[in-house]
Amino acid sequence: MAQDGPEQFDVVVIGAGFSGLYAIHRLRQQHSVVCFETGDGVGGTWYWNRYPGARVDIISVEYSYGFDEALQQEWRWPEYFSAQPALEDYANHVADRFDLRKHIRFSNPVTRMRFDGKTNRWHVHTANGDHVEARWVIAATGALHAPNEPAWPGRELFKGQVLHTTQWPREGMDLTGKRVALIGTGSTGVQATPIIAEQAAHLHLFQRTPAYSMPSGNRPLDPEFEAEWKANYAERRQQMLHTWGVSLIDYPTYCVADCTPEQQNEILEAAWHSKNAFQLMVAFADVMVNPAANAVVAEFARNKIRSIVKDPKTAELLCPTYPIGAKRLGNDKGYYESFNRDNVTLVDAKSAPIVAFTEKGLRTTDAEYEFDVIILATGFDAVTGAMSRIAIEGPDGQTVTEKWSEGPTTYLGAMIAGFPNLFMIHGPLTPGAQAQMITAGEWQVNWTADIIEDLESRGVARIETTPEAEQWWAQQVNAAAAMTVHNLADSWYNAKNIEGKKGGFMIYVGGFPEYTRACTEAVAGGYRGFVLTPEPATAPA
Ligand code: N01
């Protein structure tokens, strides 16, 4: 709608996922805030990912907000590892309880934004034609938001239905009696497989790279466990922040070589049955940093696959050869068992890649397949994808997409040199999904809000980081990654999940305590790595 000039706000928040919601709540206490959200509801990841089997792999008493004691005392999680509907309910409850919706403009994605170097304010434009001017922008756009949909030709020819797992209809989808193709064996494909297998007439799972996965161990939440957590919540939240992954799982200090083969096996069996999705990765202190130690754990996991899957050929095809944990460890309820069903076929899409959609289904280099439904569990243009899809222009005319053409550069994952007053939550080169994201996101929002409030109290109009600070942070990120086995596999962590995508390792894996120490010390050290510019003498008209 036409209006005289841009609407004025102090802060624009992009995205009403869990971090965005908390950013609204925290910032609106002292600021005028508007949030733009692509979806028509809150919840971000848990709004978009409603595919069958979507469920968190961290216990919900941890994977939840800690900023409000009454909220965490009153909210009741039905299960240890909540399914998507429960997480979306929670996001809706928080939005209502804290009256956040009035700040959110739904179905209204930000399309472009430009920083005016004279006024030190962002001009933010949206799909619905909104034009907002604000001093600060907080991009809570999500690390796993932009879907990766392979560009095989012929999609328009296919007479059935094709959908990415983020496009699952809200009302669900009845796959009964359908011939279904599921493409992708990341965490999403692994969760969806057993449930789709139960419904479909036949499921063909196209696997390019096999997945390691642990049994989920999900179950109804034990009231005693819940009461015990609630009695200690404040303390637990603090303890989490001092763990590597912001989660109170067991981190043993012994290494693989400290144990006899019998002890190793006992420890790994306990980890497998631990009901904790990541316990294999931390079963010994050196699983993620010592390839030889990792190989012991990986072989244990492969033997589990061989013991579950009856057909030896299928079992071998399902056995990964890269280090366990190098790609995200899956978390499932009967994934490997699905391959013992008569209506499930594993297709090796590595040796015979998919090349095209056809009128009736899919063509690989060696066969044609007929389907009613094709489901793309093909992941995301992760970490950078959501930001790169917005035309973000800095004061010198450069866009974020141009700046990141060889891979993302940031300082502390929070700011990009050349883009003042723009903060990211869970941005590239933060711990991202290697940390429990709700609590980690809250921490980052608080750090950001503290900076904004401090700068305002000191009359600072503009904060930006420098290429030197970005280089320093890149060194920290690369050094941390080099100590781990992560780069021994292609994944969305290192931008190698999408052909042609450039960028190195995009996650900080030095642990959350080291990350927060770097952030806190930068500010305490007089905004080290940042440049501050005071308010101009005369305010713009
Ligand atoms: O995506 P992915 P995701 N032809 O990138 C395959 C979080 N998450 O949506 O490995 C054939 O992991 C691709 O093959 P390859 C979690 O952080 C959490 O599953 O690249 N196949 C791979 O198998 C996770 O890491 C939870 O060779 C193609 C799959 O598609 C992240 O989200 C649940 C292909 C993509 O796997 C992303 O998981 C779900 C092609 N052209 C997700 N292109 C939980 O909390 C891609 N693939 C439990």
* pLDDT in single tens digits along all 541 residues of the chain: 445 799 999 999 999 999 999 999 999 999 999 999 999 999 999 999 999 999 999 999 999 999 999 999 999 999 999 999 999 999 999 999 999 999 999 999 999 999 999 999 999 999 999 999 999 999 999 999 999 999 999 999 999 999 999 999 999 999 999 999 999 999 999 999 999 999 999 999 999 999 999 999 899 999 999 999 999 999 999 999 999 999 998 889 999 999 999 999 999 999 999 998 889 999 999 999 999 999 999 999 999 999 999 999 999 999 999 999 999 999 999 999 999 999 999 999 999 999 999 999 999 999 999 999 999 999 999 999 999 999 999 999 999 999 999 999 999 999 999 999 999 999 999 999 899 999 999 999 999 999 999 999 999 999 999 999 999 999 999 999 999 999 999 999 999 999 889 888 999 999 999 999 999 999 999 999 999 999 876 545 4
B/e letters for 137-152, b = 16+ CB within 10 Å, e = fewer, are bbbbbbbbbbbbbeeb
pTM higher than the cut 0.85:
yes
- Which residues are CB-contacts of 74 (< 8 A; sequence separation ≥ 6)? none
Amino acid at the residue 424: M
> To 5 degrees, how large is the angle CA 202–CA 206–CA 210?
125
Q: Residue 308 has which token pair?
A: 């579950």
Tell me, what's the pLDDT at 1? 47
Burial class (CB within 10 angstroms; exposed 0-12, middle 13-18, buried 19+) of 296: buried
- Which residues are CB-contacts of 337 (< 8 A; sequence separation ≥ 6)? 194, 308, 309
C-alpha 131 to ligand 1 mean position (Å): 36
User: Atom 45 in ligand 1: which residue has the minimum CA distance?
Assistant: 56
pLDDT digits over 325-345, tens only? 999 999 999 999 999 999 999
pLDDT digits over 392-449, tens only? 999 999 999 999 999 999 999 999 999 999 999 999 999 998 999 999 999 999 999 9
C-alpha 433 to ligand 1 mean position (Å): 13
Ligand 1 neighbourhood includes 150 CB (under 6 angstroms) = yes
Ligand 1 neighbourhood includes 328 CB (under 6 angstroms) = yes
Is residue 27 within 8 Å of residue 104, measured between CB atoms? no
User: Which residue reads 């004279």 in tokens?
Assistant: 118
DSSP sequence for 275-335: S-TTTTTTSSTTTTT-HHHHHHHHHHHHHHHHHH-SSHHHHHHH---SPTTSSPPEEESST
Tell me, what's the pLDDT at 538? 57
Ligand 1 neighbourhood includes 17 CB (under 6 angstroms) = no
Tell me, what's the pLDDT at 175? 98
Tell me, what's the pLDDT at 250? 84
Atom of ligand 1 nearest to the CA of 328: 25
C-alpha 362 to ligand 1 mean position (Å): 19
Burial class (CB within 10 angstroms; exposed 0-12, middle 13-18, buried 19+) of 303: middle
User: Atom 24 in ligand 1: which residue has the minimum CA distance?
Assistant: 187
Ligand 1 neighbourhood includes 489 CB (under 6 angstroms) = no
- State the Cα–Cα distance between residues 102 and 92, nearest whole angstrom: 13
Is residue 137 within 8 Å of residue 464, measured between CB atoms? no
- State the Cα–Cα distance between residues 240 and 100, nearest whole angstrom: 27
CA atoms within 13 A on the CB side of 60: 28
Ligand 1 neighbourhood includes 166 CB (under 6 angstroms) = no
